A and B are shown apart, each in its own frame.
Chain A
Amino acid sequence: MTSIARSAPRRLASFALPSVPGNERIALAQVAETVAGLGLSPARLDKLKTAVAEATMNAIEHGNDSRPELAVTVEVFQLGAEIIVTITDRGGRSDDGAPENSAEIPDLDRKLGGEQDPGGWGLFLIRHMVDAMDITTQDERHTVRLMMRIGSQDTCAGGGLSG
């Protein structure tokens, strides 16, 4: 009997940041440093940095309500040709209240017409920057997982993660 073994992801970095607005810049810099040399093109690295910054900002401001005593945890993994970044907050919010579930798809015409708030671009950007993303909630932990394939074309897939 044979089995197909799927190797476990290799953790490249793990760090925690206080939930202070602006700390998303630290997250993007540390993730960029961690994945340097893994084969992402500069353009795709820029996209990953933007997605990490947006997800971390959401975790700080919405998940942890900008409470410095609550940490946002960022982890970077490599699984074959995939780079996976997870951003976890401990805000304990329910899925119903999460901005990614309640937000409308941003539409510039509606925003210019006053039918939508000018903001609300964060999740939209994340989805278009990475090859896949998903969001999970377990107890009080709320995790956004971002995936970029090494060596992929510069396309914005925005699909879901599996596994």
Chain B
Amino acid sequence: MNETWRRTLALGVAFVLALAGTYIFASRASRRARQIDTATEPIHAWMSIPFIAHTYHVPAAVLFQAIGVPPLKPRDRRSVRRIARELNRPVPELISQLQRAIDTAAQPQGGPPR
């Protein structure tokens, strides 16, 4: 096989790979876009309590109460990481507490379904 053919073959392989990449990423984007309303949003340490409250449609006061922190006035935009540091508690523990409060708030009035 001469050099020209080798280069053409390499270009061909790269072309097919690029097309495959386009298909894979485009189909994944399309699948994710269809699921955007139902996808679970994880709580991250950079998020503030009002930000989490907005994401999960739960009053911020409920979340502040759940972690036992009185919110600063007028707007408490401290991140979960900063609150955890100030309380001297691990971030994952605070996130689990917030998640439990969100789950409880999401349950219908009268307790969990039987």
Q: Do A and B bind each other?
A: no
**B contact set with A: CB distance below 8 Å:** none
